[in-house]
């Protein structure tokens, strides 16, 4: 019964999306005013129904209702409750339902709160949102129904991939999806603005909080995913340039560019068409990512089911939406008047360089990700990995970071370098000193060396805008920018330090053996069998002491799950401010010895602290912007009220 209710809600939501599209299109004319009045309520109701459908799926998983095919294939009654609740999106159908739920919630939220746009632009935006939504509803209902029944119900479910049975599953997919699908709002706004030709600074102020929100979630999702891969896969890698990772990086790069160009549009009424194009591209990248991950063209732990029919379906949706939006852009872009002009030595100038570099990076990642698929179609298999992405990406990243350190110091419109020469030269001098020092002392490889020097430049440059300003009167948005840019420096430093100074020890240890890895001494005390709710494991009891200090006990495990049968290694970590000790127990070596893998990873955690800082900066900026908007709204309302009084 619950499953049927969920399915019915989903069909109803689909019908409402249809109504929303119809009302949004016909409401553009005077004759469609009745229909236009239905658009907002339809969007809100659709969101509620979709959320209800998603709720029923969560309930079905929580209760392990095995008469539902999806639950039987992906869950197990002995799975811990937290993974039952997080289970709905650990599979293809459920994750697509999450996708459409987030999308309809975003649409409902726009309908509820957005009052600043011209009504016609808003109608066109909600129509576009419904149009995109309909495709995904169709996909869900036709080829990926999450509520399908299984008769007779099996006695037990097949279980969830053990790699996914981790707290990361509760964090990474929902945040990432909020980001992916949140970008659909920017897409719909862009399409709406193209349809009504209304690209103004006001438009930019309206979409900025939405873009910021999506971008914050995207940043958090990628950071969480990277840390999850780092501790779960058991080899200490945190980024693999794997197609599925690139699929999340590409929308982030586009959204980051969009975020900055929206600022230019809002402040200076420049970069109009470019901002619109980025709005289209950002969500297009989300969809390309979904296609890559969900269609099975790349194999990965993310590709739950390989089904050519689904791949074709998503590809068709992709062609319609991306192709349609680009055609619309091509026909309308010429009719949008070009915005204000400016000189290179200005805030806008720096932001344009940032946008060009980010777009080029996006191009590189897209090329490197899709190229192997392209050659495979012609029967040639090639791989594109870190040796390609790292150096080629750096060519664009390094100049961008240099501009990042300088840009925020520049004034809008026109500025002179002489005004900011001193602090900028100081920052770059420190960077140069780091470069030379690290090269002479540590003999680092070129890329980590450049990364470390640039981290110093960006770290100093990012806080320079605070110079000579009262912290009290600093706008929250500016503080957000400083925090986010500083986060970039922190993350970059972590990446460079980890790749240059990591120490790895692989040993076959007997009980009582001590191994030195970096500043740590690790002793194998014993190896014990342990059991969990749906696994058994061999657990190594290690005592680790940092620079001869008091030892701490850590317990890495080699787990064997029985549903589905699979082995995973659960790494155990010890965190200090300056890095992490990473330990893994492998198999039995010969007789009485055990394989241990130990790493000392200096400053590796700074990568994710940096990611968190970037997201925090975004959050501060978002709060700051919303507060200003609210203030402006109250002032406007007061002015209007006074005018009414005066008139009376």
Asked whether position 8 contacts other proteins by CB under 8 A, the answer is no
Stretch 252-281: interaction string toward other proteins, x if CB under 8 A: ------------------------------
CB of 3 or CB of 361, closer to other proteins:
361
Site for other proteins in 572-591 (CB under 8 A): 586, 589
Q: Tell me the C-alpha to C-alpha distance, in Å, between residue 130 and each of 208, 286, 320, 350, 559.
A: 21, 17, 14, 36, 45
Distance CA 518, CA 625 (A): 46
Stretch 331-360: interaction string toward other proteins, x if CB under 8 A: ---------xxxxx-x--x--xx--xx--x
Asked whether position 387 contacts other proteins by CB under 8 A, the answer is yes
Distance CA 255, CA 180 (A): 10
Q: Which of 22, 392, 466, 573 is close enough to bind other proteins by CB under 8 A?
A: 392
Radius of gyration of the chain (CA): 27
Asked whether position 508 contacts other proteins by CB under 8 A, the answer is yes
Of 30-38, 110-118, 474-482, 501-509, the segment contacting other proteins by CB under 8 A is 501-509
Asked whether position 375 contacts other proteins by CB under 8 A, the answer is yes
Asked whether position 70 contacts other proteins by CB under 8 A, the answer is no
- The helices-and-strands tally (H runs, E runs) of the chain is 18, 10
Asked whether position 301 contacts other proteins by CB under 8 A, the answer is yes
Spell out a b/e string for 609-633, using b for 16 or more CB atoms within 10 Å of the CB, else e: bbbbbbbbbbbbbbbbbbeeeeeee
Q: Which of 8, 267, 307, 388 is close enough to bind other proteins by CB under 8 A?
A: 388
CB of 410 or CB of 460, closer to other proteins:
410
Residues in a beta bridge with 504: 599
How many CB atoms sit inside 10 A of residue 501's CB?
17
Of 139-147, 154-162, 379-387, 528-536, the segment contacting other proteins by CB under 8 A is 379-387
Q: Which of 31, 299, 319, 514 is close enough to bind other proteins by CB under 8 A?
A: 299
Q: Which one-letter DSSP state was computed for residue 68? A: B
Spell out a b/e string for 154-179, using b for 16 or more CB atoms within 10 Å of the CB, else e: eeebebbbbbbbbebbbbbbbbbbbb
CB of 49 to other proteins, least distance (A): 36
Count of residues binding other proteins (CB under 8 A)? 56
Residues in a beta bridge with 561: 535, 566
Distance CA 162, CA 90 (A): 11
CB of 260 or CB of 625, closer to other proteins:
260
The tokens describing 132, both together, are: 């995109």
Asked whether position 564 contacts other proteins by CB under 8 A, the answer is no
CB of 341 or CB of 547, closer to other proteins:
341
Q: Is 256 exposed, middle or buried (0-12, 13-18, 19+ CB in 10 A)?
A: buried
Asked whether position 622 contacts other proteins by CB under 8 A, the answer is no
Q: Which of 145, 156, 161, 595 is close enough to bind other proteins by CB under 8 A?
A: 595
CB of 342 to other proteins, least distance (A): 4
CB of 19 or CB of 352, closer to other proteins:
352
CB of 7 or CB of 538, closer to other proteins:
538
User: Contact at 8 Å (CB) between 527 and 593?
Assistant: no
- What dihedral angle (degrees, nearest 10) is formed by the CA atoms of 130, 276, 613, 468? -140
Spell out a b/e string for 589-600, using b for 16 or more CB atoms within 10 Å of the CB, else e: eeeeebbbbbbb
Interaction site with other proteins (CB under 8 A): 233-235, 237, 240-244, 298-301, 340-344, 346, 349, 352-353, 356-357, 360, 363-364, 367-368, 371, 375, 378, 380-388, 392, 395-396, 413-414, 504-506, 508, 567, 569, 586, 589, 595, 597
């Amino acid at each position: 019964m619950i499953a049927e209710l969920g399915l019915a809600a989903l069909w109803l939501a689909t019908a409402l999306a249809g109504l929303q599209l119809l009302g949004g299109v016909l409401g553009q004319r005077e004759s469609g005013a009745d229909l236009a009045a239905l658009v907002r309520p339809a969007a809100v109701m659709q969101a509620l129904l979709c959320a209800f459908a998603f709720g029923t799926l969560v309930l079905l998983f929580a209760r392990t209702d095995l008469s539902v095919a999806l639950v039987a294939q992906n869950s197990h009654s002995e799975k811990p409750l937290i993974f039952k609740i997080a289970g709905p999106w650990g599979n293809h159908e459920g994750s697509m339902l999450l996708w459409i739920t987030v999308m309809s919630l975003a649409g409902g939220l726009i309908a509820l709160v957005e009052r600043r746009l011209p009504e016609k632009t808003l109608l066109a935006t909600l129509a576009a949102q419904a149009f995109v939504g309909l495709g995904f509803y169709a996909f869900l209902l036709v080829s990926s129904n999450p509520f399908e029944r299984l008769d007779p119900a099996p006695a037990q479910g097949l279980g969830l991939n053990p790699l996914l049975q981790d707290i990361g599953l509760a964090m990474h997919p929902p945040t990432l999806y909020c980001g992916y699908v949140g970008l659909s709002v920017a897409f719909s706004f862009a399409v709406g603005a193209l349809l009504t030709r209304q690209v103004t600074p006001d438009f930019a102020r309206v979409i900025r909080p939405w873009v910021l929100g999506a971008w914050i979630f995207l940043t958090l999702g990628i950071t969480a995913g990277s840390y999850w891969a780092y501790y779960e896969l058991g080899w200490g890698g945190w980024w693999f340039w794997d197609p599925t990772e690139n699929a999340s990086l590409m929308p982030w790069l586009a959204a980051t560019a969009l975020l900055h160009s929206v600022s230019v549009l809002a402040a200076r009424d420049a970069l109009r068409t470019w901002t619109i194009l980025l709005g289209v591209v950002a969500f297009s990248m989300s969809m390309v990512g979904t296609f890559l991950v969900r269609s099975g063209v790349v194999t990965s732990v993310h590709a739950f089911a390989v089904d050519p029919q689904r791949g074709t379906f998503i590809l068709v949706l992709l062609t319609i939406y991306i192709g349609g939006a680009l055609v619309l852009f091509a026909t309308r872009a010429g009719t949008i008047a070009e915005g204000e002009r400016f000189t290179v030595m200005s805030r806008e100038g720096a932001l344009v360089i940032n946008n060009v570099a980010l777009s080029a990076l996006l191009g590189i990642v897209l090329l490197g990700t899709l190229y192997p698929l392209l050659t495979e179609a012609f029967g040639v298999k090639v791989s594109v990995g870190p040796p390609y992405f790292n150096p080629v990406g750096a060519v664009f990243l390094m100049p961008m970071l240099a501009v990042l350190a300088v840009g925020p110091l520049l004034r809008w419109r026109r500025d002179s370098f002489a005004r900011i020469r001193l602090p900028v030269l100081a920052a770059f001098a420190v960077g140069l000193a780091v470069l030379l020092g690290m090269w002479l002392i540590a003999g680092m490889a070129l890329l980590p060396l450049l990364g470390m020097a640039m981290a110093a430049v960006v770290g100093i440059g990012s806080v320079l805008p605070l110079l000579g300003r009262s912290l009290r009167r600093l706008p929250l948005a500016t503080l957000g920018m400083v925090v986010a840019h500083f986060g970039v420096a922190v993350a970059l430093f972590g990446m460079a330090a980890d790749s240059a100074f990591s120490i790895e020890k692989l040993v076959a240890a007997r009980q009582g053996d001590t191994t030195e890895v970096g500043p740590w001494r690790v002793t194998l005390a014993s190896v014990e069998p342990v059991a969990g709710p749906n696994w058994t494991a061999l657990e190594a009891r290690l005592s680790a002491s940092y620079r001869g200090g008091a030892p701490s006990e850590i317990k890495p495990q080699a787990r064997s799950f029985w549903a589905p049968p699979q082995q995973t290694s659960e790494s155990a970590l010890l965190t200090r401010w300056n890095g992490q000790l990473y330990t893994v127990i492998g198999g039995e070596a010969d007789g009485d010895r055990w394989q241990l893998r130990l790493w000392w990873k200096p400053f590796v955690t700074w990568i994710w602290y940096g990611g968190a800082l970037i997201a925090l900066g975004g959050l501060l900026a978002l709060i700051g912007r919303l507060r200003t908007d609210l203030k402006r709204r109250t002032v406007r309302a007061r002015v209007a009220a006074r005018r009414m009084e005066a008139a009376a």
